[in-house]
Amino acid sequence: MTLGAAKVSKTHSFMTVSLIELWERFGYYGMQALIVYFMVQRLGFDDSRANLVWSACAALIYVSPAIGGWVGDKILGTKRTMLLGAGVLSVGYALMTVPTENTWFLFGALGVIVVGNGLFKPNAGNLVRKIYEGDDSKIDSAFTIYYMAVNVGSTFSMLLTPWIKDYVNATYGNEFGWHAAFAVCCVGLLVGLGNYAIMRKTVSEYGSEPDSRPVDKSKLAIVLAVAAASVVLSAVILEYQTVARIFVYAAGIAVLAIFAHLIRSSEVSERAGLIAALVLTVQTVFFFVFYQQMSTSLALFALRNVDWEFNVLGMHLWTWSPAQFQALNPIWIMVLSPVLAWTYSWAGRNNKDFSIAGKFALGFAVVAVGFFIYGFAGQFAVEGKTSSWIMIWGYGSYSLGELLVSGLGLAMIARYVPARMGGFMMGAYFVASGISQYLGGVVANFASVPEDIKDPLQTLPIYTSLFNKLGIAAVVCTLIALAVLPLMRRLTETHHSHNGNGHDDSAAAALSDVKTEQ
């Protein structure tokens, strides 16, 4: 095979995985845009319960890949586990289309989504890594494009599902619009699976060792049985908040224990990289506390205290649905990603680039600016309703911070962690992120609005007080990130010297500074 043919083959393989990822994210973010509103407006949950239920679910969604990555690496194979996860996810979204107000039914459907995500997410990312294994710069570029697929899928679904909900409810005068919107999420997964079936030959050369063998039906049966039990366990965790807290905190202890064991038992040449990965993972945990506000406190703020009309120079252009404001995040990501990619390439060519750890510090500073913008919303409010421009510029700062912090997650694992630990460590990274998702819900509850308060003038200071405090917290995170820069520099130099890799950990193509995990 010629070099050119090899490149085409890798490109086609990568596009196959990226497209199924795009449709999976379409389903997930379409559901996320509505889920807190669904619990508050349709099921009558108070803010506190809705925030914690969704945050516990988000935590489980992030924790579950720790097991799914191992299943893909060792039991069923990376590709098979990814496809099984996509199928399970489609069932979960299909269950959410059933028009019932039974909370156990909702928690069961969310449990199915948790399990499906756990099987799908780490194996899709790991398959991308396997396609470009051994080429750091290509991994960087691949995760950049992969991340764009995430944001294309999430943008369309976050704009579409709220519109479908509103349209169907207005047309038929009932609450079926919620379930029609969830049905669109299911269709997205089915389209993704159909697309993969057409293009599956392009990834025939890639996967983990079990992919090369026939399916072991007994092992498949065990995986399905454990998956069913996990659905039940997830539903219980979502129903009982005490169980959720115990589970999340136990997961945190487990992640630290895993890192400690791997660092202690690793080769000397691997140790510096693992310690660097641990430091950056801890910082990412702090970021996700801020990130979780998008679907909790910021979502409810948009519902109660934001003018949904979008005006330019006094002219009305369109009216937002409050859930659609969440689409500003992926829109800004797609606008800013090429700018950062060019900036990193220019800095790399001119030896002016700075490290991943430095980007973390800058990212937290920008996140702080974003939350201070939200905090100043009251200065632009009329009768308790602030301008939609507050959301636009706040999300812009927030999203730039996300690119600089969260965006480095899986690429950081790919760069610092030995390949033999790749799938497992990606799972451990997701667990750490999940813990902070739950903590983000706990933080969002500082802005829980009592059910008897309906006046926007009363709810506005509740939200702006939280956002200002989050801005201050992000400033503290910035200072901590700056303080550990010397340590990170020493660890990176040691890692590179042991692995014969002299380039900086953020050179040239480093818009692997992109999230693929959300």
Q: When comparing pLDDT for 465 and 254, which is higher? A: 465
- Our CA angle for 300, 305, 309, nearest 5°, is 105
Number of neighbours of residue 518 by Cβ within 10 angstroms: 27
CA-wise closest residue to 492 among 223, 484, 69: 484
- pLDDT recorded at residue 512: 37
Residue 217 scores a pLDDT above 50: yes
Instruction: For residues 273 and 342, give the distance between their C-alpha atoms in angstroms, rounded to a whole number.
Output: 27
CB 63 within 8 A of CB 329: no
Q: How far from chain centre, in Å, is Cα 334?
A: 15
CA atoms within 13 A of residue 28's CA, in its CB half-sphere = 32
What average pLDDT does range 87-102 have in this prediction?
92
Residue 181 scores a pLDDT above 60: yes
* 67-81, 198-212, 393-407, 455-469: segment of lowest average pLDDT: 198-212
- pLDDT recorded at residue 39: 94
pLDDT digits (tens, 9 = 90+) for 323-333: 999 999 999 98
DSSP type of residue 318: E
> What CATH architecture applies to the domain 12-202+214-499?
Up-down Bundle (1.20)
Six-digit token pair at 394?
């706040």
CA atoms within 13 A of residue 439's CA, in its CB half-sphere = 19
Helix, strand and coil percent figures for the chain, each rounded to 5: 80, 5, 15
Torsion 496-501-502-507 (CA) sign: negative
Residue 506 scores a pLDDT above 60: no
Instruction: For residues 495 and 357, give the distance between their C-alpha atoms in angstroms, rounded to a whole number.
Output: 14
Q: When comparing pLDDT for 108 and 308, which is higher? A: 108
CA-wise closest residue to 378 among 472, 290, 468: 468
- pLDDT recorded at residue 245: 87
| Mean pLDDT computed over every residue of the chain | 81
- pLDDT recorded at residue 129: 74
Residue 152 scores a pLDDT above 70: yes
- pLDDT recorded at residue 356: 67
Number of neighbours of residue 195 by Cβ within 10 angstroms: 16
Six-digit token pair at 315?
């002219």
- pLDDT recorded at residue 498: 58
CB-neighbour burial class of residue 463 (10 A; exposed 0-12, middle 13-18, buried 19+): buried
Q: When comparing pLDDT for 67 and 395, which is higher? A: 395
What average pLDDT does range 118-124 have in this prediction?
84
Q: Give the rounded percent of residues in the chain with a pLDDT score beyond 70.
A: 81
- pLDDT recorded at residue 5: 44
Q: When comparing pLDDT for 136 and 386, which is higher? A: 386
pLDDT digits (tens, 9 = 90+) for 124-141: 877 777 777 766 556 656
3-state secondary structure 181-210: HHHHHHHHHHHHHHHHHHHHHHHCCCCCHH
- pLDDT recorded at residue 509: 33
- pLDDT recorded at residue 135: 60
Residue 513 scores a pLDDT above 70: no
Six-digit token pair at 265?
């038992």
Q: Tell me the residue type at 64.
A: S
Convert 471-507 to b/e letters by CB count within 10 Å (16 or more is b).
Answer: bebbbebbeebbebeeebeebbebbbeeeeeeebbbb
- pLDDT recorded at residue 2: 39
